[in-house]
Amino acid sequence: MEKNKKVIIAVSLVVLLILLNTPYYIINIISSCMLVVILAVLLGDVTSNMSTYLGEKKGGMLAATIGNIPELMMGIWSVKYGMIPMAKAALLGSIISNMLLGLGIAVIVGGLKYREQRFNKIIARTNFNMLILAMSAIIIISALNRYTIYPLGKEALKSISVKVSLVLIFVYLLGLIFSFCTHKNLFLVDGEEVEEEERVENKLKLFLTVIKLIFIAVMLYFISEKLIFNVKTLVETKKVSQEFLGIILIPLLGNIGENVTTVMCALDNKINMSIETAIGSSIQISLFVTPLLTILSCVLLEPLTLVFSSFEIIISVLAIGMSFLVFQDGKSYWFEGAILGAVYIIITLAYYYIR
């Protein structure tokens, strides 16, 4: 009953903030950010309910999937308003935020509480292989654009970006089949198989939860339009860097739900679910959301290609590399989380000076 009251209060607050539309873009940005945060928390609650029926492994993947809905919505409106640099920075920022900030905090709090946490190395290795694949595609296309004798035109870059995006989405789907069907035994946590087999599904509750998810996703779509429109006004008026807003604002708003999930799981000593949520979210951003936005951008007539700057590629490789070094041995300590957090702070400070 208490939980339902909180949901009703949150939804009422969301409706009031949606109706609030002042002539001051700063106030509109703040109210829109509050809306996104509230809905992201509600998404986390929906994820928790659904994972009750699906199990820890699938629950982590579900948390990552649902948690990326805000990024997708804000990305669509960023592309629609022609803010391509911000859209690209936001996609990379989501990956970096999950890999460095979210996991960093989770490892710190988990390490301080349990001293040492152990996890399935196969999960981490397979996930990092998929991330490296996505980065390889971006590096290849970016290098192709820079180092060919005759630079490729916009149409050629758009064409190859769409084709590579289709390949990445296909590999992402293959990864799901590998993890959940053909080799799911490799990804089981001790005791999880019995729990999954004996779990009784409540179809009515699951159906109502899906309805909530659809409702929140629709609200996020329209709220994202309001937020991005006012952010565009801020950029044009105050000459604020699109890249800085993309690397900081959108990832922090969009990832708050899954980052909270990651930290809470670490506190409960469910480090496998923490890794699945954070790294799984980064995989979905790199192998699904980014390719999907690339394809959708052609429909929106504002092409978003897979060509990124050298600085963006370097920091992405650095984020993935640092996280891989931390999680390659199957155990984590709080100091490793502090290192990940420090790298995130350094990257955000560097982005502030990009104009």
pTM confidence score? 0.78
Alpha-carbon distance values, 255 to 26, 95, 134, 281, 330 (Å): 22, 10, 20, 9, 25
Q: What is the pLDDT of residue 197?
A: 46
Average pLDDT across each block of 10 residues of the chain; the chain has 355 residues. List them in order: 52 58 76 77 66 58 69 84 86 87 89 81 76 87 77 81 90 80 61 46 67 77 81 84 82 77 80 78 86 86 83 87 81 87 88 72
CATH number, span 57-199+241-352: 1.20.1420.30
Place of tokens 């609030």: 20
- In this prediction, residue 166 carries a pLDDT of 92
From CA 94, how far away is CA 255, in angstroms rounded? Answer: 7
What are the residues whose beta carbons fall under 8 Å from the beta carbon of 38, sequence distance 6 or more? 10, 13, 14
Q: How far is CA 145 from CA 149, 165, 266, 298, 313, in A?
A: 9, 16, 42, 19, 14
Domain residues of the chain, as ranges?
A: 57-199+241-352
Q: What does the alpha-carbon distance between residue 27 and residue 308 come to, in Å, rounded to a whole number?
A: 32
